[in-house]
Chain A
Amino acid sequence: MITYLALRIFLAGALVLGCAFIVVSQVARRGPTPYPEVAGRAYRLRLFWFFTLGGILAAVFLTALPYVPYANYRLASGPAAMHVNVAGSQYSWRLDGTVGTGGKVDFAVTSLDVNHGFGLYDPSGHLVGQVQAMPGYTNHLVLQLSEQGDYTVRCLEYCGPGHSSMFVALHVSTCKTGCCC
């Protein structure tokens, strides 16, 4: 799961930052050392830190680039095999189409009233993709579902007091063209 990897990276980074602040707070008690002496060294180091941070961010950006969810990127490697029309409204989902594990699924998502968030959860309860359901627009989310079973579509954009109860089951079969929802 990419989210668990992100969590581990975050926790490691947070730990490093936290330790850095604790070390600084302890070293800060010593002194006082003349400020020009401290500042001179620190500001020379800052240039190195600036380029290191910029370099890390640029590297992460480039690494993550191929994994963006936008349809034209996903479709570039092959046409969607299955199409599902999705319409959200307070507080239900209407899904028309068939879904299977054999190919890509194009979810064409819109809203009949307010903004909703189409979030697809796999049978073990992990989010596999999401897109906003907006009035007046149809957003295409293209996913390759690798696991068969009962998925859940949850609303991920606050849409009123019934928001938490806006979910529906979506059965994904092993057949290429999918089965009924």
Chain B
Amino acid sequence: MQDRLLLLRLLRAQRITRIWLVTSGLLLLGLALAGGSMRLTQAGGGNLVSADVFYEVMSVHGSGMVVVGLMAGAGVLWYLVSNEVELSVTVNRIVFLLTLSGLVMIVLAVMVFGYSSAWTFLYPLPEHPGSGIATAAIGAAAYLIGLALAVVGFLLWCLDFLRAGLKRCGSLQRLLGFYVFGSAGHGHSAENDPTTTNPSLIAGTVCAILGLSACVIGALIVVLMLTSLVFPSLTLNALVAKNMIYFTGHTLANLQIYVAAGIAYSVLPLYTKRPWRLSRALVAGWLATLAIVMLAFFHHLYQDFAQPEAVQWVGNVVSYAAAIPPMTVTIYGGLVLVWRSGIRWSAAPLFTLMAMAGWAIGGFGAVIDSTISLNQFFHNTLWVPAHFHTYMALGVMFFLIGATYHVVPTLTGRQMKENVGRRAAALMGFGGYGLVLCWYISGSMSAPRRYLYPLSGTEVLAWIAVACAAVALTGAVMVCKDLIDVFLASPHYNLPELVPSEV
């Protein structure tokens, strides 16, 4: 009887994960194509479409990428750890529906009501969008409600992850691996204890705690802005609102890479046949990350001179500190794990390794931008999308694609095509780095971001960026096509296969 229940749960878990994978794969591809169309419009001098349409596409691209990038990672991590902690399939389904509903609302807000105030929705821009579109206020309300739905979805994911983790480990300290600092020393001495934690669970728990705080503040600012929209006499303090928005926005965007790190902890060991063990450094790194991510958002406000100066220094120090845990724990640990392991670079570990490279290189670009005196010249130039696309497009997305190549066989009983994966990796790597290189150079030439046209002197770079984006998108289309082909050709479930074994 218990076996039947376990089997039923496995089937339900597989079904919802299949839905997550296919939906987010298609959405991410669509959003990437939207980004590519923005590049084309910009390189063409803004003559292809009107400014209204350009900024509507920009709003969908930014909002969609943050929501889908985060939730796709959350969906994959959920599946990878679902044999270690009793996560709720029902909650996962609700999370999926809320995320999808939120995205539909956001798309409606943009396409039907003309919302174009970007994913940052800085107060009071949604109230005064400056577009002259009559339905802009309805669009702003629809956008904020859509965002709230997605935020509530992630909030539920966080709560369920913490509930299941606490059920396994008994306490938050144990779930976060505090016991490695005790006399027993490193975690592997207690490997067979079912109440121990592991690197993926620690990563997920830190993300859940950070996610909870971001969602609460995010929900609050959304409610305040909605209220202000309905009652215009209620005005908010623009600086406080900006702090709240960036606390939420930066944290949720940043969590994408940390959720992806949790995925890597589960995936990479299976290909190196080496365990990613718990260590004092790993636990300390994640505890530091918990504090760092909460405070790093201040670097978005360096140019708000009204902000207390001490806070700006905190932003600089913490942003620098943010580089240390990935570079000494996760990325370093990943490289040690593969070193002389005799690994065969199939698509799953290949994309995972490339993702770590994107994280490291993009992080370096971010550290430069987070230096207050340099931010004076880089803030809101193309250097900004350059560095975040390096660790999002060439980091988070590669982690997700690597995980997809790993997970799909367990869901369908079929492998995705390895040769397609390797070719796509080459195209996406070549095109992706070409694209961000054009942005880094343009940023150093002071070209502003979110501009309809390239600044004088950067026109050629804008066109090269379009060509590189086209190459990278070709790789993305190949992966998506392969993914869809496998799902269409596979049975609805994969009974004989089990979810990946515990690392």
Interface residues of A (CB under 8 A from B): 1-4, 6-7, 9-11, 13-14, 17-18, 20-21, 24-25, 27-33, 35, 38-39, 42-43, 46, 49-50, 53-54, 57, 60-61, 64-65, 67-72, 90-91, 113-115, 117, 119, 121, 125-127, 129-132, 134-141, 154, 156-165
Contacts and interface: CB of A to CB of B under 8 A. Distances in A.
A90 B128 contact: yes
Nearest to B274: A35
A50 to B, nearest CB: 5
B124 interface: yes
B340 to A, nearest CB: 4
Given A113-B124, A164-B453, A7 B441 contact: yes
B303 A137 contact: no
Given A3-B377, A13-B364, A130-B303, A28 B343 contact: yes
A161 B341 contact: no
B245 to A, nearest CB: 10
A69 B376 contact: yes
Contacts of B312: 68, 70
Contact of B51 (A24, A71, A164): A164
Interface of B: 46, 50-52, 54-55, 116-118, 120, 122, 124-125, 128-131, 237-239, 242, 272-275, 279, 281, 303-306, 309, 312, 316-317, 320-321, 323-324, 327-328, 332, 335-336, 338-345, 353-354, 356-357, 360-361, 364-365, 367-368, 371-374, 376-381, 440-441, 443-446, 448, 450-453, 455-457
Given A61-B317, A160-B131, A17 B52 contact: no
Contacts of A18: 357, 361
A31 to B, nearest CB: 4
A20 B367 CA distance: 19
Contact of B242 (A30, A115, A161): A115
Contacts of B453: 164
Contacts of B373: 64-65, 67-69
B130 A121 contact: no
A132 B128 contact: no
Contact of A134 (B239, B317, B321): B239
A70 B376 CA distance: 10
Contacts of B451: 163-164
A25 B349 CA distance: 10
B125 A159 contact: yes
A114 B130 contact: yes
A102 B305 CA distance: 25
Contact of B327 (A25, A28, A53, A90): A53
B130 A90 contact: yes
Given A24-B339, A29-B343, A46-B328, A156 B379 contact: yes
Nearest to B42: A164
Given A32-B341, A115-B242, A164 B46 contact: yes
The 4 closest A-B pairs by CB, nearest first: A160-B130, A67-B373, A31-B340, A32-B342
Contacts of B306: 134, 137-139
Contact of A160 (B125, B341, B378, B455): B125
B176 to A, nearest CB: 21
13 contacts: A3-B446, A28-B341, A61-B371, A69-B305, A69-B372, A115-B242, A121-B446, A130-B379, A134-B304, A135-B124, A160-B116, A161-B55, A163-B452
A12 B41 CA distance: 31
Contact of A43 (B336, B357, B361, B379): B336
Contacts of A14: 361, 364-365
Given A17-B364, A28-B343, A127-B446, A135 B371 contact: no
> Among the interface residues B305, B371, B455, which one has the most CB atoms of the partner chain A within 10 A?
B305
A6 B446 contact: no
Contacts of B336: 38-39, 42-43
B363 to A, nearest CB: 9
A126 to B, nearest CB: 5
B130 A91 contact: yes
Contacts of B441: 7
A29 B345 contact: yes
